[in-house]
Amino acid sequence: MAANIKSGQKMATFVIHTVSMTSETESVESELSTRELSVDDPRHGLSQVLAGVHQLFASASADAGNLSKPTPCTEYNVGQLMDHMTFVAKRVSAMGRGRRWEDVAHVNVEADRAEAFKAATMDVRAAWDDTAKLEQMYNTPFGEAPGAAVMFVYTCEFGVHGWDLAQAIGADFSVADEALQGALAASKTLPAEGRDDPDMPFGPVVEVPDDAPALLQIAGWMGRPVLV
């Protein structure tokens, strides 16, 4: 998934109409949660993805040499991608609190990126804690959308960027299939056709078997060079 607003615009155009489709990581997950979320709650997948990505941040930050490495999201190196994901998390929080996402400024974290991302993602959970928000409409970078669609879009974005980061630093990254079923169904509503359009931020679909992990299916559908 390209790391810009266009990715959300294109994807959410389709997702909005399909919302009705339905260790260390454990420690981080408990901190990112105020309560258990059912597997069919659109926030569950996002919570799981954010917890896994935080672990990747910790791994990437452990070696300063990682930060300049290229990623499959070609406009960013590792450090830039990490800063971008923290920025996006802050935007998701702003939307959940009814604030203008446009007012969230991008900053180069540079210091403790893992802690900055953890703080941002914990705020995401707090901002979206009220279940009623899933049915409310929000002003987003991709137009007006219900909260559930917002969750699916950003589950896909953080999932794919997590895959990007893992590939760049040679780390493992996986998310339980059951946590990604809503996001996977939503991602497949983005047509495979038209990927040669210069305004389309996704590359051609990479075919991934239906029995492959859901994360890889999402990444392949978004044009990532997934090998199964």
Predicted model pTM: 0.84
Q: Is residue 11 pLDDT above 70, yes or no?
A: no
Please tell me the CATH code under which domain 5-192 is placed. Answer: 1.20.120.450
Residues 6+ apart with CB under 8 A from 111: none
For residues 74-100, give the mean pLDDT. 94
Q: Is residue 168 pLDDT above 70, yes or no?
A: yes
Who has greater pLDDT, 40 or 114? 114
Interatomic CA distance for residues 34 and 122, integer angstroms: 9
Q: Quick one: which of 57, 63, 65 has its CA closest to 85?
A: 57
Give the mean pLDDT of the chain. 84
Please state the domain extents for the chain: 5-192
Q: What is the pLDDT of residue 33?
A: 44
Q: Of 18-32, 87-101, 181-195, which gets the smallest average pLDDT?
A: 18-32
What DSSP designation does 211 have?
T
For residues 132-145, give the mean pLDDT. 90
Find how far residue 6's CA is from the centre of its chain. 14
Q: Quick one: which of 146, 144, 141, 145 has its CA closest to 201?
A: 141
Interatomic CA distance for residues 31 and 45, integer angstroms: 15
Phi, psi at 138, each rounded to 5°: -130, 150
For residues 119-135, give the mean pLDDT. 95
Interatomic CA distance for residues 66 and 158, integer angstroms: 19
Q: Which residue has the tokens 């493992």?
A: 172
Interatomic CA distance for residues 159 and 143, integer angstroms: 22
